[in-house]
């Protein structure tokens, strides 16, 4: 989730405007920054690693000449957050330069093809194939315009992109194109802007033109032209006015980052499906060879590990041990050795307990693998293999989209392991793969259909002394995560247990009206969960169930229910089933006027032990 920006100004230098606009996009990532402008037919570029202010202090981004240019603030996915990987990326002749937000899935094939044609690559990014592809097209068809060359290049790209291209071949235009990554234009009396997001130019104009997937835009001093990428036909689209404040714009009109991030989950899940096969294969090979595997993490990431232990066991017949990172050294520190494998999971990649656990295991020669949302973090630096979870920066302290993205990557690993180990039939794997592909749309449906329902029922559960969360099998992890969400932002004491365990003690807390939330996926545990619901009802509990749509066995037994679509395989169920519970926690916090983005006593990244 990087930020791109470009502008064509009538009477001023573009670089200071690009610089300040990129600052307003920094929430999309700040691993590196770069600006390119064109003046008197010559292309100028400045770029560097780190936050915009730091790079600006070193390089003075504002003194680039020219009244138009493009810029980029990076959130690393392909290639570490280094100077060499910062955008813009250029072709071999340094005449074409590109900024990009998204993931080019087939970049490796394209890179090999272009290298065989003599192109030299300097970065490890997926983006760099784009300028080389345009260069190659122009080399073969010199009569082609820059816009047509970009259009032709996009036909070779698989994946997601919003790109802005400038070239000294045609030093009077910016060419943009979009597929699945956001792109919007801003129109003012002083100039025209293209950006990943409205906040970039909101202080300059509130007149916007939304660009859709499959469209190309040409910005010139005279205005903008929109064309279809497929056939080059021209589209007419007038600007609209947005009435957002700057603060609302960063949150995309949502009142809080948390709810924005809940809504972003379908897009994030789509991105997790674009991971490169070779990293998933490499990590699953390490896991397959391991003698013992510890899944190590804190908080929400630990819940992803807990869910993963069910996935690995059920699909790959592979036992793994989920462990709280803060307990790992005491519990297993002396027992790990060269035969141990640690799969550490951390959104930030900086959590002190996770890093300490991993460091201890590393000293004892264990193999370190990791999943993290932050490429370049400490965890990536000490791991033998790591995979980025593709969620984009998460600002809300309560983890939401990073949790579901972790689950998606872990499920993909489990499926690969299942295949490698030959434990599950190919037809079953095909069904699971297909369901995983459908999850982004299903999550979207859940948010759309259940959000209003959550708003309507939340007051019934607000004034509770304690709330229970129960699930069986893999839903135990969902129940644990739902409890953590509710506790951390709505400050309601909550209890989560495997449903079967509840009668071994916790049930003594149940009084008339105590809320119990059951996670009831439709699998082998369904009948037993119904038994557990009856036990709770018999003691006066008020039941809210998360059920499969039209689960007519459970509906009549409970006080309220929230539904998720049918036929979701049990091993994938935490991804959709947690969504209504994230919404529940969010709207519960609003019931009390708490700020869900900044819960008391908490920090986004816990860097102390």
- Report how many residues bind ligand M6R under the rule CB under 6 A: 17
Quickly tell me which residue has 């545990």 as its tokens: 525
**596 near ligand M6R (CB under 6 A):** no
Is 488 a residue that touches ligand M6R (CB under 6 A)? yes
In whole angstroms, the minimum distance from the beta carbon of 585 to ligand M6R comes to 9
CB 195 within 8 A of CB 187: no
Q: Which residue lies nearest ligand M6R, judged by its C-beta?
A: 299
Binding test (CB under 6 A) with ligand M6R, winner from 67, 77, 181, 346: 346
Could you tell me which stretch among 54-62, 97-105, 293-301, 538-546 binds ligand M6R (CB under 6 A)? 293-301
CB of residue 374 to ligand M6R, shortest distance in Å: 8
Angle in degrees, CA 457, 463, 465, rounded to 5: 125
Q: Which of 246, 207, 260 is nearest to 20 (CA)?
A: 246
DSSP per residue over 508-528, as a string? GG--TT-EEEEEE-SSTTHHH
Pick the binder of ligand M6R from 36, 249, 305, 397 (CB under 6 A). Answer: 397
Choices 89-97, 118-126, 225-233, 600-608; region in contact with ligand M6R by CB under 6 A: 600-608
CB 151 within 8 A of CB 227: yes
- Closest to ligand M6R by CB, 349 or 569: 349
Binding flag, residue 348, ligand M6R (CB under 6 A): yes
Binding of residue 265 to ligand M6R (CB under 6 A): no
How distant is the alpha carbon of residue 507 from its chain centre?
38
C-alpha to C-alpha distance for 299 and 238, rounded to whole angstroms: 47
What does the DSSP 8-state code read for residue 180?
B
Q: Which phi and psi (to 5°) does residue 262 adopt?
A: -65, -45
Contact call for residue 605 and ligand M6R (CB under 6 A): yes
Return the beta strands (E) in 455-608 as ranges: 467-471, 494-498, 515-520, 542-548, 560-564
Place of tokens 């790079």: 55
What's the chain's Rg over C-alpha atoms? 25
- φ, ψ for residue 555 (rounded to 5)? -45, -50
Q: Verify binding: residue 309, ligand M6R, rule CB under 6 A.
A: no
Region at 574 (left for phi over 0; alpha for psi -120 to 50; beta for the rest): alpha
Q: Which helix or strand (DSSP H or E) is residue 2 part of?
A: none
Residue 2: active-site member: yes
Catalytic residue among 2, 7, 194, 298: 2
Q: How far apart are CA 504 and CA 499, in angstroms?
A: 10
Distances (CA, A) of 446 to 331, 434, 440, 518, 563: 39, 18, 10, 17, 8
Distance (Å, whole) CA 216 – CA 391: 26
One of 167, 301, 404, 570 touching ligand M6R (CB under 6 A):
301
Shortest Å distance, C-beta 312 to ligand M6R: 19
Shortest separation between residue 422's beta carbon and ligand M6R, angstroms: 33
* Smallest distance from ligand M6R to CB 399, Å: 4
Tell me: does residue 574 bind ligand M6R (CB under 6 A).
no
Residue 261 beta carbon to ligand M6R: minimum distance, rounded to whole angstroms: 11
Choose one: 86-94, 420-428, 562-570, 598-606; the region binding ligand M6R (CB under 6 A): 598-606
34-42, 262-270, 292-300, 407-415 -> range binding ligand M6R (CB under 6 A): 292-300
Minimal distance in Å, beta carbon 343 to ligand M6R?
A: 13
Question: CB–CB of 187/197 below 8 Å?
Answer: no
Judged by CB under 6 A, which of 86, 309, 347, 476 binds ligand M6R?
347
Write each residue from 399 to 428 as x if it is in contact with ligand M6R (CB under 6 A), else as -, in one continuous string. x-----------------------------
Nearest distance in Å: CB 481, ligand M6R: 8
Task: Choose one: 230-238, 288-296, 298-306, 328-336; the region binding ligand M6R (CB under 6 A).
Answer: 298-306
Asked if 54 interacts with ligand M6R (CB under 6 A), we say no
Cα distance between residue 282 and residue 290, in whole Å: 13
Closest contact distance (angstroms) between CB of 340 and ligand M6R is 20
Helix, strand, coil percentages in the chain from 3-state DSSP, rounded to 5: 40, 25, 35
With tokens 């929400």, the residue in question is 300
Show the tokens assigned to 150.
């970009």
Q: Return the closest-CA partner of residue 4 out of 193, 246, 223.
A: 193
**Interface positions, 353-372, toward ligand M6R (CB under 6 A):** 354
Q: Is residue 206 near ligand M6R by the rule CB under 6 A?
A: no
CA distance 125 to 115: 14
Verify binding: residue 322, ligand M6R, rule CB under 6 A: no
Cβ distance to ligand M6R smaller for residue 107 or 587: 587
Q: Which of residues 491-520 bind ligand M6R (CB under 6 A)?
A: none
Residue 34 within binding range of ligand M6R, rule CB under 6 A: no
Nearest approach in angstroms of CB 346 to ligand M6R is 3
**29, 48, 69, 299: which one binds ligand M6R (CB under 6 A):** 299
Angle at 97 between CA 92 and CA 103, to 5 degrees: 100
Residues 6+ apart with CB under 8 A from 315: 414, 415, 417, 418, 423, 424, 432, 571
Q: Write down the catalytic residue from 124, 423, 453, 604.
A: 604
- Of the two residues 235 and 602, which places its CB atom closer to ligand M6R in the complex? 602
Residues designated as active site = 2, 604
Could you list the residues that contact ligand M6R (CB under 6 A)? 298-301, 346-348, 351, 354, 397-399, 484, 488, 602, 605-606
């Amino acid at each position: 989730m990087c930020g791109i920006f470009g502008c064509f100004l009538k009477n001023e230098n573009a670089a200071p405007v690009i610089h300040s606009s990129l600052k307003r996009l920094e929430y999309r990532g700040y691993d590196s920054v770069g600006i390119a402008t064109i003046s008197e037919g010559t292309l100028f570029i400045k770029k560097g690693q780190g936050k915009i202010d730091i790079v600006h202090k070193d390089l003075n981004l504002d003194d680039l000449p020219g009244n138009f240019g493009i810029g980029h603030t990076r959130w690393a996915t392909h290639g570490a957050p280094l100077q060499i990987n910062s955008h813009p990326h250029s072709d071999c002749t340094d005449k074409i330069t590109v900024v990009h937000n998204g993931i080019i899935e087939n970049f490796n094939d394209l890179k090999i093809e272009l290298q065989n044609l003599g192109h030299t690559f300097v970065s490890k990014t997926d983006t760099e194939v784009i300028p080389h592809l345009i260069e190659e097209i122009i080399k073969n068809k010199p009569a082609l315009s820059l816009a047509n060359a970009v259009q032709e290049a996009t036909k070779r790209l698989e994946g997601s992109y919003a790109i802005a291209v400038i070239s000294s071949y045609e030093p009077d235009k910016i060419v943009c194109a979009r597929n699945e990554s956001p792109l919007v234009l801003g129109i003012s009396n002083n100039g025209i802007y293209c950006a990943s997001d409205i906040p970039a130019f909101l202080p300059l104009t509130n007149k916007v033109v939304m660009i859709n997937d499959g469209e190309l835009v040409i910005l010139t001093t005279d205005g903008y032209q929109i064309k279809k990428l497929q056939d080059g036909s021209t589209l007419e689209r007038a600007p609209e006015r947005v009435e957002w404040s700057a603060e609302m714009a960063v949150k995309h009109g949502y009142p809080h980052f948390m709810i924005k991030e809940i809504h972003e989950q379908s897009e994030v899940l789509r991105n997790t499906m674009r991971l490169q096969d070779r990293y998933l294969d490499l990590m699953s090979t390490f896991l397959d060879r391991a003698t013992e595997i510890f899944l190590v993490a804190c908080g929400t990431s630990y819940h992803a590990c807990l869910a993963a232990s069910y996935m690995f066991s059920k699909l790959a017949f592979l036992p793994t041990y989920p462990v709280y990172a803060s307990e790992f050294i005491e519990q297993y520190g002396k027992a790990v050795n060269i035969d141990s494998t640690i799969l550490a999971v951390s959104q930030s990649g900086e959590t002190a307990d996770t890093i300490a656990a991993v460091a201890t295991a590393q000293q004892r020669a264990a193999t370190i693998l990791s999943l993290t949302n932050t490429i370049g973090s400490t965890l990536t630096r000490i791991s033998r293999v790591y995979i980025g979870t593709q969620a984009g920066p998460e600002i809300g302290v309560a983890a939401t989209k990073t949790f579901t993205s972790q689950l998606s990557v872990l499920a993909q690993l489990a499926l690969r392991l299942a295949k490698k180990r030959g434990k599950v039939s190919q037809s079953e794997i095909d069904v699971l793969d297909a369901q995983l592909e459908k999850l982004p749309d299903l999550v979207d449906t859940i948010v759309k259909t259940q959000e209003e329902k959550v708003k309507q029922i939340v007051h019934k559960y607000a004034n509770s002394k304690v709330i229970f969360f129960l699930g069986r099998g893999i839903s135990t992890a969902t129940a644990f995560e739902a409890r953590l969400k509710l506790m951390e932002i709505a400050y309601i004491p909550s209890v989560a247990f495997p449903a079967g365990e509840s009668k071994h003690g916790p049930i003594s807390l149940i009084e008339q009206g105590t809320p119990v939330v059951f996670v009831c996926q439709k699998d082998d545990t369904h009948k037993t969960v119904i038994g557990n619901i009856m036990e709770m009802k018999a003691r006066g509990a008020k039941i809210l169930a998360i059920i499969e749509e039209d689960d007519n066995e459970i509906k009549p037994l409970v006080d309220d229910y929230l539904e998720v679509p049918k036929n979701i395989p049990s091993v994938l169920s935490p991804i959709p089933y947690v969504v209504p519970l994230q919404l529940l926690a969010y709207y519960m916090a609003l019931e009390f006027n708490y700020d869900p983005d900044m819960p008391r006593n908490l920090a986004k990244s816990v860097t102390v032990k």
